[in-house]
């Protein structure tokens, strides 16, 4: 992995300060470029939302706002507040996810979020009674747990038994009840198959499935229209650096052709992307505090572990890694180094689960050098176990060029 010059020079500046280095470095330029590109190439009617769960740092929200995202996909009141603080009005928020609390639904109704995506009949009835109490109504999409999954995706959100949405087979039982709730305006469907998908064809298959469902619903229920169709997130990132990047142009072309085939022009289509937009805008950078040989394997111990960067351990994958050398003096003769070998990286936590990389090839590394993990802008600090062992929170440093321009 090549480290961009601005990231490396900030690292060297911090390393020279003498304190133990352990931080996230962000430059949202790639995210801004991706949003601008997607806005340009996607078919008419497609609305791009940023899934803020990927990285809720204000710099990422600001990048989404400035680069032209239509809005933010939220899954909690905390995310809603962050989005509003960053400049997105409530009517630019779409609210997804299971287990929305009554307080969260009440806030959504009171503030007028754009759509609430219903995950169950309980949620539909709860939202309806909150709307009734407030004398308001709410536009809703129905999330379906489609009978379809993408086997090689990193995480699946539909197919099999899931807490997400209403099973496709139960649609005819659930939909009439939802349509009868007088404070809910049914606007369409949300079907999100999987996250981390690199194969465009797999995601387009999901689009086709939702289109078929929409057609079936409209043929079965007179006067009911699926004006809005939400495909969720899922554009993948090539963490393993295999050269198989997701091809957004192929997705845009395939979707445009499908919209024409189905005669679905004039409808609104939603993408809620997290990983694809944010991943390459962040690096987790952590100082190597120890290197030891243990029963034939080298263990490299860093200042931060899964408390600050849990994703590799959670998904059992290695992120791209580069070492920034600092040429620190050895503490004693015979101190271990890494030279052209496969080694293990972990943090300072008292659990063997504290792994940053497994069996990863490293050309050279010494105590005092900095391990830089790439593609860490999405699901980095936000999905880590920060409280475990009470280490200080890593600093998040923003190096945006455009940040200072605006």
Ligand X SMILES: Cc1ncc(COP(=O)(O)O)c(C=O)c1O
Q: Which two tokens stand for residue 81?
A: 């507040």
Contact 357, 321 (CB under 8 A): yes
- DSSP string over 26-76: E--HHHHHHHHHHHHHSPTTEEEEEEGGG---HHHHHHHHHHT--EEEESS
Contact 320, 65 (CB under 8 A): no
Contacts with 271 (C-beta within 8 Å, 6 or more apart), sequence order = 38, 42, 46, 47, 48, 49, 230, 231, 232, 233, 235
Binding site for ligand X (CB under 6 A): 51, 53-54, 73, 96-97, 192, 195-196, 232-235, 272-276
Q: Which two tokens stand for residue 389?
A: 């062992």
Nearer to ligand X, 30 or 348 (CB): 30
Q: Closest approach of Cβ 51 to ligand X, in Å?
A: 4
Total residue length of the chain: 406
Nearer to ligand X, 30 or 97 (CB): 97
Nearer to ligand X, 275 or 308 (CB): 275
Nearer to ligand X, 14 or 96 (CB): 96
Task: Of 13, 48, 1, give the one whose Cα is nearest residue 270.
Answer: 48
Q: Closest approach of Cβ 198 to ligand X, in Å?
A: 11
Nearer to ligand X, 195 or 322 (CB): 195
Q: Closest approach of Cβ 352 to ligand X, in Å?
A: 27
Residue nearest to ligand X (CB): 233
Nearer to ligand X, 155 or 220 (CB): 155
Q: Closest approach of Cβ 266 to ligand X, in Å?
A: 24
Nearer to ligand X, 38 or 259 (CB): 38
CA dihedral 66, 72, 76, 80 (to 10 degrees): 50
- DSSP string over 121-160: HHHHHHHHHHHHHHT--EEEEEEEE-S---TTSSEE-SSS
Q: Which two tokens stand for residue 214?
A: 């929409």
Q: Closest approach of Cβ 155 to ligand X, in Å?
A: 7
Q: Closest approach of Cβ 194 to ligand X, in Å?
A: 8
Nearer to ligand X, 189 or 362 (CB): 189
Contact 350, 271 (CB under 8 A): no
Q: Closest approach of Cβ 275 to ligand X, in Å?
A: 4
Contact 49, 94 (CB under 8 A): yes
Q: Closest approach of Cβ 313 to ligand X, in Å?
A: 18
Task: Of 216, 315, 297, give the one whose Cα is nearest residue 262.
Answer: 216
């Amino acid at each position: 992995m090549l480290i961009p010059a601005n990231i490396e020079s900030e690292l060297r500046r911090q390393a020279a300060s003498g304190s133990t280095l352990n931080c996230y470095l962000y430059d949202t330029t790639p995210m801004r470029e991706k949003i601008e590109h997607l806005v340009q190439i996607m078919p008419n009617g497609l609305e791009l939302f940023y899934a803020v769960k990927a990285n809720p740092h204000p710099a990422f929200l600001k990048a989404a706002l400035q680069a032209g995202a239509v809005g933010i996909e939220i899954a909690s009141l905390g995310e809603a507040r962050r989005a509003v603080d960053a400049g997105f009005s409530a009517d630019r928020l779409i609210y997804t996810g299971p287990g929305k609390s009554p307080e969260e639904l009440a806030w959504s109704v009171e503030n007028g979020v754009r759509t609430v995506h219903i995950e169950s009949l309980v949620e539909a009835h709860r939202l309806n009674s909150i709307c009734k109490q407030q004398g308001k109504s709410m536009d809703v999409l129905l999330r379906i747990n489609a009978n379809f999954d993408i086997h090689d995706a990193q995480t699946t959100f539909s197919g099999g038994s899931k807490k997400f949405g209403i099973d496709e087979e139960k649609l005819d039982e659930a939909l009439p009840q939802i349509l009868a709730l007088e404070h809910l305006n049914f606007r369409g469907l949300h079907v999100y198959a999987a996250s981390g998908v690199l194969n465009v064809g797999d995601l387009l298959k999901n689009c086709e499935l939702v289109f078929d469902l929409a057609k079936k619903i409209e043929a079965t229920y007179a006067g009911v229209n699926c004006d809005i169709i939400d495909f969720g997130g899922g554009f993948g990132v090539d963490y393993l650096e295999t050269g198989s990047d997701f091809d957004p142009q192929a997705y845009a072309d395939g979707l445009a052709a499908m919209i024409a085939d189905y005669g679905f022009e004039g409808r609104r289509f939603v993408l809620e992307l997290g990983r694809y937009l944010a991943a390459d805008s962040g690096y987790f950078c952590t100082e190597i505090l120890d290197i030891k040989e243990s029963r034939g394997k080298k263990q490299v111990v860093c200042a931060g572990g899964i408390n600050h960067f849990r994703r590799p351990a959670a998904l059992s994958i290695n992120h791209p890694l580069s070492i920034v050398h600092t040429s620190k003096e050895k503490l004693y003769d015979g101190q271990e180094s890494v030279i052209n070998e496969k080694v293990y990286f972990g943090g300072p936590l008292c659990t063997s689960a504290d792994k940053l990389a497994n069996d990863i090839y490293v050309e050279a590394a010494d105590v005092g050098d900095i391990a830089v993990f790439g593609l860490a802008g999405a699901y980095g600090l936000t999905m880590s176990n920060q409280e475990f062992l009470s280490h200080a929170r890593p600093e998040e440093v923003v190096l945006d060029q455009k940040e200072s321009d605006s």
